[in-house]
Every structure is written in structure tokens, then in C-alpha cells.
């Protein structure tokens, strides 16, 4: 659906005017006699609405202020506003069947990957105190473990054993290296880290990160952005001038949405609702509240709640 | 819609207050599915 529906505006406009109108019988040639009888005609020109394009605000880094164009900018040689600190980190190599790419802790590909990513993080302004500990988790083949719950348990036991060895001291994050995309392994590890063990996880797909050495720098940059935010750092901010209005009063920015089960979901799968909000004048961190809820039940809207909510917090 | 919106908004305001030591003067909400009668401008509100 999305692939069919999502087109550039020009393509859609052309489709509406040059294909849609004739198909619907709304051109002057094809307009039905009934409509003609009422002396009604339909213009084939779209309404023109004047618009203006606002200049993008500048993005600022501690060092470097790249030019923004079409919503994107180059981050290859910038320093984060506030670099996070990596006190310790682990690399978990997920070995999943014959397609497993790294099978030896001394594999030069693995050694270079760790070195390269460390160098990128440090160049971006993060502190990485030590080289990583390398863990490996061999998974069960999907034929024996169709929902991969046994494989997730192997990963769980691998991480737990290492936590026990360290008397429960957690690493700043675990870098998980996957050989290929799997519908159960990635969400399984995310859940393990976020919900169960409360350890930050960052994933890389080995087929992508090892494929093209020229693109590796860009790949590392993108993962470093993610990691720095997870460690409580600040990647970039809008320049002060652009922040002026937002910071002129204490402002909280809220985002909210609901995901509903898809057509292939198990019947009874709940919808998931989430609300995120900023917590200070940097607008960098947006911690979340999440709930599962019954599908397609419209209960209350924010407009009904807003004043009540404020009063609750105010008088608490 | 979001069933426990009230509880979640209170959680977010509490977190804001914990970090900023005050409540916001204004709140912007980004969301989808706003109908004509419930225009986004109505969502702006003040605590004072």
C-alpha cells in the first residue's frame, strides 16, 4: 500500500489530472450528460496555493556547523556538543548458522571493526576508556527453534554469565553484531536489553558494515550518533538564534502515536501507545511512556485531558 | 486513540519537573489524526 500510495507530489498531481479525471469521467469530453444538463463543468486545473520555503536553521556542533540541505547534512567530521563516556563495553558476536560471518575472536575483520568504531567515537568527542570484551553466542538453527526463543535464551545466558563474572557490573553498552536480518533475533535482543537486563544495546549488520570500506565511515558515524544519545550525550543542537523562540518560555515538546496490529498479526494483538516528551531546554532527550491497549477503542482525547492533567501535577 | 493518555502525560510532566525543577509554561503536542474541529492550536496551554 505505502509503496503504491507514496509518490512525489508532481507524480500524484499528474496522475490526478491526466489519469484520474478521465477515469472518473470528469473531463469536458467525457463529462456525463446529466452533469452537463445542470450546466456544471469541472476545471482540470488544480487550485494553486501560494507557499514559501523557509530557510533551514543552522545545526551546531562543538566543532563544525555543517550546511543543511533537504533535511540532511554531513556528519563525517564533526564533534558532538557533549560526548558521552564509555566506561566499558562488550561486543556480542551473534553466530547464526552457516551464514555467520565472524567465528573467531581474533578475526581481523572483527579487530578492525572495533578499532575503527572506537576511533570514530573518539574523533566525534566521546570518551572510550578501554577496548571491548568480545562475547560470542552461537544460536540454535531455526529448524529446531522456530520462534528463536531458545536462541534468545542462549544470548541471555551469555550476557548473564559475563555480568556474574563482573559481580553484576553492567557495561555502558553492548555492541551486537548480526550476520543477517531475522524477525525474532533483533527484537528479542532489544527486549532483553531494554526490559529485562536494562543494558543499552546497539546493533550493526555485518553484511552492511563490512561490504564497502568506503561506506564504513558513514555507517560508523550513524551508529556513533545513536550511541552518544543513548549514553546521555548531546549530538547537535540548533544554533542559538533558532532556539531563541523555543527557550523564551519553559516549553515541553510532546510526541504521541499508536501502532495497531497489521493484517498478519495474531488476532487479539494489542495496540501499543507511546508518549515521548522533552525534559529540558536542550530538547535532546525524549524519554517515553508506553502502554499496550485494546485495539480500535477510542476513549479520550488530549483536549479533554490537558487541563485536568496539569492540575493533577500542579497540586500533587 | 491513546487510552491511558492522561497517566502518560502526567508521567512526562513529572519527568520534566524532575529534570528542570519546574513545570513547562507551554506544551507542544505533535500527533496525527487531528480533526477539523480539534485544531492543533487549541492544544497550546499554559500552566499559570
In this prediction, residue B37 has a pLDDT band, given cuts at 50, 70 and 90, of: very low
Asked if B39 reaches chain A (Cβ–Cβ under 8 Å), the answer is no
Chain A residues with beta carbon closer than 8 angstroms to that of B7 = 289, 291
Judge: B5–A256 Cβ closer than 8 Å, yes or no.
yes
Strand ranges, E, within chain A: 59-60, 85-86, 89-95, 127-128, 133-138, 173-178, 201-205, 237-238, 251-259, 271-277, 288-293
Give which of A173, A170, A184 is closest to A139, Cα–Cα: A184
* Chain A residues closer than 8 Å to B1 by CB: 258, 297-301
What tens digit of pLDDT does each residue of A65-95 get? Answer: 787 788 787 777 789 999 999 999 999 999 9
Residues 6+ apart with CB under 8 A from B20: A250, A279, A280, A281
ipTM, interface predicted TM-score of the complex: 0.76
Cβ–Cβ pairs < 8 A, chains A and B: 130
Ordered mean pLDDT values, 10 residues apiece, chain A (316 residues)? 84 92 79 72 87 88 82 81 96 90 89 96 95 94 92 97 95 96 94 96 95 90 95 91 93 92 87 94 93 67 54 58
Closest CA of chain A from B8, distance in Å: 6
Residue A177 to chain B, least CA–CA distance (Å):
33
> Angle at the Cα of A104 (from A103 to A108), degrees rounded to 5?
110
pLDDT, residue A296, reads: 60
A138 in helix, strand or coil? strand
Q: Which residue has the cell 531546554?
A: A281
> Residue A254 is nearest to which of B20, B29, B47, comparing CB atoms?
B29
CA distance A303 to B40: 10
CB A102 within 8 Å of CB A144: no
Does residue B42 carry a pLDDT above 50? no
Burial class (CB in 10 A: 0-12, 13-18, 19+), A248: exposed
* pLDDT beyond 60 at B44: no
pLDDT at B40: 45
pLDDT of residue A312: 61
Q: Which residues of chain A does B25 touch, with a Cβ-Cβ cutoff of 8 Å? A: 249-251
Strands B26-30 and A251-259: parallel
* pLDDT for A105: 85
Question: Is B5 at the interface with chain A, CB within 8 A?
Answer: yes
pLDDT digits (tens, 9 = 90+) for A122-176: 999 999 999 999 999 999 998 999 999 999 999 999 999 999 999 999 999 999 9
Amino acid at each position: 500500500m505505502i509503496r503504491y500510495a507514496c509518490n512525489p507530489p508532481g507524480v500524484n498531481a499528474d496522475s490526478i489530472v491526466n489519469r484520474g479525471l478521465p477515469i472518473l469521467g470528469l473531463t469536458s469530453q467525457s463529462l456525463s450528460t446529466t452533469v452537463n444538463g445542470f450546466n456544471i463543468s469541472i476545471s482540470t486545473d488544480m487550485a494553486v496555493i501560494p507557499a514559501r520555503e523557509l530557510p533551514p536553521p543552522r545545526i551546531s556542533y562543538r566543532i563544525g556547523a555543517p550546511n543543511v540541505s533537504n533535511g540532511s547534512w554531513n556528519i563525517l567530521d564533526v564533534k558532538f556538543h557533549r560526548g558521552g563516556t564509555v566506561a566499558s563495553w562488550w561486543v556480542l558476536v551473534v553466530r547464526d548458522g552457516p551464514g555467520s560471518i565472524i567465528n573467531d575472536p581474533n578475526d581481523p575483520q572483527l579487530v578492525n571493526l572495533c578499532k575503527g568504531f572506537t576511533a570514530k567515537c573518539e574523533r566525534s568527542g566521546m570518551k572510550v576508556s578501554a577496548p571491548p570484551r568480545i562475547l560470542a553466542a552461537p544460536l540454535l538453527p531455526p529448524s529446531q527453534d522456530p520462534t528463536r526463543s531458545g536462541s534468545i535464551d542462549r544470548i541471555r545466558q551469555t550476557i548473564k554469565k559475563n555480568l556474574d563474572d563482573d559481580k553484576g557490573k553492567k557495561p555502558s553498552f553492548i555492541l551486537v553484531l548480526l550476520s543477517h536480518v531475522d524477525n525474532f533475533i533483533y527484537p528479542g535482543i532489544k527486549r532483553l536489553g531494554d526490559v529485562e537486563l536494562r543494558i543499552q544495546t546497539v546493533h550493526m549488520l555485518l553484511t552492511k558494515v563490512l561490504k564497502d570500506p568506503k561506506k564504513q565511515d558513514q555507517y560508523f558515524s550513524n551508529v556513533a550518533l545513536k550511541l552518544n544519545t543513548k549514553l546521555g550525550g548531546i549530538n547537535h543542537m540548533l544554533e542559538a538564534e533558532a532556539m531563541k523562540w523555543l527557550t523564551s518560555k519553559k516549553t515541553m515538546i510532546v510526541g504521541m502515536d499508536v501502532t495497531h496490529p497489521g493484517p498478519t498479526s495474531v488476532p487479539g494483538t494489542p495496540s501499543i501507545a507511546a508518549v515521548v516528551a522533552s525534559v529540558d531546554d536542550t530538547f535532546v532527550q525524549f524519554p517515553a511512556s508506553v502502554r499496550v491497549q485494546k485495539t480500535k477503542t477510542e476513549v479520550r482525547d488530549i483536549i479533554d485531558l490537558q487541563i485536568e492533567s496539569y492540575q493533577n501535577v500542579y497540586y500533587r | 486513540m491513546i487510552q491511558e493518555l492522561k497517566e502518560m502525560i502526567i508521567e512526562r510532566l513529572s519527568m520534566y519537573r524532575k529534570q528542570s525543577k519546574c513545570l513547562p509554561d507551554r506544551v507542544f503536542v505533535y500527533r496525527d489524526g487531528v480533526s477539523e474541529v480539534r485544531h492543533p492550536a487549541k492544544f497550546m496551554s499554559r500552566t499559570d
